[in-house]
């Protein structure tokens, strides 16, 4: 059976502007390069979103609000012919010590099983050290972005981590690397 490479994407600060705990679709602002980057990636990779939404557990937003925002993001991308195969959302805060919050790998493992993903050829892209650590923990290549919270947390990631200005630059790197294999 053929296994497919995947790209796991953080939501806030990666696909859309990170404006805090988003409660309504009117607060969603896609980066101008998001569509171009995802269209490029989906030619060679299955695409997934993994997002930590601790605002739910903290009472700053509701599951319904987050779900509506997530649906809006997926529908907006779908209208641009971008297919996100699955979106995984952790509603917990750090103190909950759940199994799904990045940097834990539960969602990557679920996707790998359900969609026959080849983790050795897969990537995770995000703007938090937890995204990088999640990739390392799952055995996939992490790429760190300077959008969102990226600049603020840059000093918290290891020197070996590949850093890009934004999702489009990271996507170009992935496509070039994919051509070499």
Give the pTM.
Answer: 0.96
Is residue 85, in this structure, part of any structural domain at all? yes
Report CA-CA distances (Å) from 12 to 16, 69, 137: 5, 11, 21
Cα–Cα distance, 127 to 12 (Å, whole number): 8
Per-residue pLDDT at 18 exceeds 90: yes
Active-site pick, 10, 18, 127, 131: 10
- In the chain, alpha helices (H): 34-42, 63-78, 106-115, 129-138, 150-153, 167-180
Is residue 1, in this structure, part of any structural domain at all? no
Per-residue pLDDT at 181 exceeds 80: no
Is residue 103, in this structure, part of any structural domain at all? yes
Instruction: Tell me whether residue 12 is one of the annotated catalytic residues.
Output: yes
Amino acid 1: pLDDT? 65
pLDDT band, residue 178 (cuts 50/70/90): confident
Using an 8 Å Cβ cutoff, are 29 and 13 in contact? Answer: no
| Domain containing residue 162 | 6-180
Active-site pick, 12, 18, 127, 131: 12
Instruction: Tell me whether residue 10 is one of the annotated catalytic residues.
Output: yes
The CATH code of the domain that includes 25 is 3.40.50.1000
Is residue 139, in this structure, part of any structural domain at all? yes
The count of domains in the chain is 1
Tell me the per-residue pLDDT of 134-171, one tens digit each, with 9 for 90 and over: 999 999 999 999 999 999 999 999 889 999 999 999 99
Is residue 90, in this structure, part of any structural domain at all? yes
Using an 8 Å Cβ cutoff, are 100 and 137 in contact? Answer: no
């Amino acid at each position: 059976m053929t296994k497919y490479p995947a790209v796991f994407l953080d939501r806030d600060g990666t696909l859309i502007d990170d404006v805090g705990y988003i409660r309504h679709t009117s607060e969603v602002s896609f980066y101008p390069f998001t569509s171009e980057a995802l269209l490029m990636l989906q030619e060679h990779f299955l695409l997934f979103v993994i997002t930590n939404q601790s605002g739910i557990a903290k009472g700053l937003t509701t599951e319904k609000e987050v779900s509506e925002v997530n649906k809006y993001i997926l529908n907006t991308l779908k209208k641009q012919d971008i297919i996100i195969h699955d979106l995984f959302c952790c509603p917990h805060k750090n103190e909950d010590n759940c199994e799904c919050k990045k940097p834990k790998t539960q969602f990557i493992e679920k996707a790998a099983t359900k969609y026959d993903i080849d983790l050795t050829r897969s990537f995770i892209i995000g703007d938090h050290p937890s995204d990088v650590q999640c990739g390392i923990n799952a055995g996939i290549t992490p790429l760190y972005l300077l959008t969102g919270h990226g600049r603020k947390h840059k000093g918290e990631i290891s020197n070996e981590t590949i850093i890009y200005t934004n999702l489009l630059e990271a996507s170009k790197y992935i496509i070039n690397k994919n051509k070499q294999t």
